Amino acid sequence: MKARLLDTVRYGDRRDRKDAPSIGALADALVAGAARAESLSLGELLLLIGDRSFGAVLVLAAGANLSPAGLIPAASTLLAVVVVFVSLQLVAGLRHIWIPHSLRRKKLSPRLVEGAGRTMKTWSRWLDPWLTRGLRPLTEPPFDRLAGLICVLLAVPVPLLEFVPFVTNVPMTMVAVFGLGLLARNGFLLALGFAASLAAAYFAYRLLTL
């Protein structure tokens, strides 16, 4: 019986995981998954999120850098490594994030997962109406891989920028925009990320050629 419940958590409803158009639907999946098993591992959580796990991790990593935690020495560098690790897998076309088996087996509290899902559900009531509009083709290949490549390029200089307070917030904010666009499958956000990246590249070029 327990194995059957874990199978349900691992694979979930494929339509919900692949085609769900909203953050609210993802929140429902988290709450349902937490209710179907006594415990959830990190690997099971990533499989439950499905192909949205890339966007979710990018948002979490970039958001952590933008929070007070980003001021901790070497925190920005560590978060940048996470962004590169995840983004390279996105560029490679993987469907789910690969993580070492030892970390994949790390147990999470179902109450914590359910609480996160319910919090996301609350926020989704006002986020979903505009986050899920239009330009869905920009969230599919090859544009999602291009977004991953840009996230790699944005994260690589972060360890050098960490010595100047708050400067790392600039590339990580753009990473957060890409992550949120991938998470919500919002092409407008990806288009905004592409435009901001072009502007940043032009500014960096002009700065280096002064």
pLDDT digit string (tens) for the chain, length 210 residues:
344 434 444 434 444 334 445 777 777 877 887 787 677 788 887 777 766 689 988 988 888 888 887 888 888 999 999 999 999 999 999 988 888 888 888 887 777 677 777 877 777 787 777 776 678 888 889 999 999 999 999 999 999 998 888 899 999 999 999 998 998 888 999 999 999 999 999 998 888 887
How far apart (Å, rounded) are the C-alpha atoms in residues 156 and 149? 11
Q: How many helices (H) and strands (E) does the chain have?
A: 12, 2
Strand partners, 40: 108
Q: Which of 129, 127, 117 is nearest to 16 (CA)?
A: 117
List, as one string, the DSSP characters of 115-172. HHHHHHHHHHHHHHHHHT-S-GGGGSTTHHHHHHHHHHHHHTTHHHHTTSTTTTHHHH
CA angle 120, 123, 125 (to 5 degrees): 115
How far apart (Å, rounded) are the C-alpha atoms in residues 81 and 75? 10
Give the structural domain span for 165: 2-208
CB 184 within 8 A of CB 135: no
Neighbours of 195 (CB within 10 A): 11
Q: Total domain count for the chain?
A: 1
Q: Based on the number of CB atoms within 10 Å of its own CB, is 87 exposed (0-12), middle (13-18) or buried (19 or more)?
A: buried
pTM of the full structure: 0.77
Give, for 108, the enclosing helix (H) or strand (E): strand 107-108
Q: Which of 58, 83, 81 is nearest to 179 (CA)?
A: 58
